[in-house]
Amino acid sequence: MADVVNREHRAFDNIPRLLKPVTDRRASLTPEQRHTLAGWLLDVALRRRFTFEELMPDKEIIKKIIGEKGAPGDVIDLTIKVFDNINERLRYLYDRDHQIGHAYFLDVKSLNDLRRVFLDQIILSFPVINLPTPSF
């Protein structure tokens, strides 16, 4: 009988403490546990109410949009190269879910715009990428 009780007790060892049965009525959650639980509940609520459609980064959208805005061909080509190289590096270092989206580049019309996007938005948003600062 003791072996059955011990086995049942050990079944809970790999479950996070937050999900284990509470025997003490006065037991409470730490602020960190409450924050984690709130995040889980929000995620469950959103997934129950909405469908999720994966939208991966697309260089064709960049070509189309900045081409329509009048960016020269060499700026478009360089923008696509920067976009592809950053995402290739992110896929190598992390995975495909950590790529940057095409929206960062949709306002690029000149080399200065590309420099601004790269330095002010991408480098500052992703300091762990360890990309060298370009010398345009």
Token output for 98: 């950590």
Cβ neighbours around 10 below 10 Å, total: 9
Q: Which of 16-25, 50-59, 72-81, 95-104 has the lowest mean pLDDT?
A: 16-25
- Model's pTM, two decimal places? 0.60
User: Alpha-carbon distance 41 to 75, whole Å?
Assistant: 45
pLDDT digits (tens, 9 = 90+) for 47-56: 888 887 888 9
When pLDDT is averaged across residues 12-23 and rounded to a whole number, the result is 56
pLDDT of residue 66: 95
When pLDDT is averaged across residues 73-92 and rounded to a whole number, the result is 93
- Is the separation of the CB atoms in 66 and 106 below 8 Å? yes
pLDDT of residue 5: 46
User: Alpha-carbon distance 108 to 105, whole Å?
Assistant: 6
Mean pLDDT estimate for the chain: 80
